[in-house]
Amino acid sequence: MRCDQLAAVAPVRQFTNCRILRGGTLLREDLWVRGGRILDPEKLFFEERRMADEQRDCGGHILAPGFIDVQMNGGFGVDFSRATEDVGSGIALVAQRILSHGVTSFCPTLVTSPPEVYHKVLPQIPVKSGGPHGAGVLGVHLEGPFISREKRGAHPEAYLRSFEANAFHDVLATYGSLDNVRIVTLAPELDRSLEVIQALTAQGICVSLGHSVADLAAAEEAVQNGATFITHLFNAMLPFHHRDPGIVGLLTSDQLPPGHCIFYGMIADGIHTNPAALRIAHRAHPQGLVLVTDAVPALGLGNGRHTLGQQEVEVDGLIAHIAGTKTLCGSIAPMDVCIRHFLQATGCSVESALEAASLHPAQLLGLEKTKGNLDFGADADFVVLDDSLHVQATYISGELVWQAEEAGP
């Protein structure tokens, strides 16, 4: 029996008494699901003469697409940049724990590391669908080592690299196989970076600009050659200057390819980016804003010393620093917290805040036909939220995978 035939005989679930985020608007409509996909109820009724096999009352809550985190270094004691014999078990633990924060898909992120770490870790992180076991893995985000020394942030200087004469060969020698890679962050001012950008994008890999001292002209040239993302805007790049706004200037550049949308990550944890800067970015280019956690292994663990790749991290309250320094090294705020802070800091609509964590990252990765929305035919990955945007339940492929205590449906 074919997949479409199996879906046709699967039970139909109707989620009622809810507000669905669809087309940028919260609509008072029911959500219909069958075989892991969003259904068009009119076709179901008029073409198949079927009704729901099961109804679930959502108690007036919001149903939004599942959140997608494209930059997450680890969490709950798991460090994705640590070369162990069983990387998969750490990925699985984090994938399960982030369900409670509404995340249904993510990109495990590796910070600058020696080649042997990439060679050992990357083959152990395959793309994987989400389910009761945890959020889906969309591919790995490699942040470094081809970045600026001046703007390396928390990345260890000893392992930074530049591109040699045969630039893409150097990339392959550093990382090994790129089969499981979805995003690469690099500094566009490095010599030979343009040929690397072209080679990576030719393989379907998203190139992001970050940890860089690039001026606007270099950033524009990188985008003209295929780059589509900016890693944690404002952090680890030249500050905005009126005569040369640097990478930040891409948000309003008139030198981008026609119809090209530049996306940019924002860490809205209340630490990395001042609320005024969040407002400036959102008002300048709202459709490109992608909320990321940039979560470190200390996420969920509290104060103390933890790791991030080759570095030791110290957490005090809401702030994570490289131990013994004042250098920020990622966030300890989960995605739902970032969404609520972003909403409060910018005064944007609830719809805009939710789309920044769902639709926009899906569009960045070219997954908008199946992820990041609740359109007919899309994957039934969604989160149930109360009016203050606290997660009540998380669904993947239409199946309940996490539920708050005493919450419904």
Domains and CATH numbers, the chain: 1-64+373-403 (2.30.40.10), 67-365 (3.20.20.140)
Write down the pLDDT at residue 311. Answer: 85
Tokens encoding 145: 């080592």
Percentage with pLDDT > 90 across the chain? 87
Mean pLDDT of 366-373: 98
Least confident among 40-54, 61-75, 201-215, 219-233: 40-54
Tokens encoding 230: 């900016």
Least confident among 7-11, 40-44, 356-360: 7-11
Within 8 A by CB and 6+ apart from 405, the residues are none
pLDDT at residue 4 greater than cutoff 70: no
Write down the pLDDT at residue 212. Answer: 97
Write down the pLDDT at residue 290. Answer: 98
Contact 253, 218 (CB under 8 A): no
Binding-site residue set for Zn(2+):
143, 211, 232
Active site residue 254: no
Within 8 A by CB and 6+ apart from 60, the residues are 17, 18, 19
pLDDT at residue 142 greater than cutoff 60: yes
pLDDT digits (tens, 9 = 90+) for 153-212: 889 899 999 998 899 999 999 999 999 999 999 999 999 999 999 999 999 999 999 999
| pLDDT bucket at 5, cuts 50 / 70 / 90 | low
Mean pLDDT of 114-142: 98
pLDDT at residue 7 greater than cutoff 80: no
Write down the pLDDT at residue 130. Answer: 98
pTM for the predicted model, two decimal places: 0.96
pLDDT digits (tens, 9 = 90+) for 269-315: 999 999 999 999 999 999 999 999 999 999 999 899 998 888 889 99
Regarding predicted confidence, which is higher, 45 or 80? 80
pLDDT digits (tens, 9 = 90+) for 313-355: 999 988 999 999 988 889 999 999 999 999 999 999 999 999 9
Q: Of the residues 79, 269, 294, 336, which is catalytic?
A: 294
- Residue ranges in 114-260 assigned as alpha helix (H): 115-121, 167-175, 193-202, 216-224
Paired with 84 in beta bridges are none
For residue 57, the one-letter residue type is D
Binding-site residue set:
143, 154, 211, 232, 235-236, 243, 272, 328-330
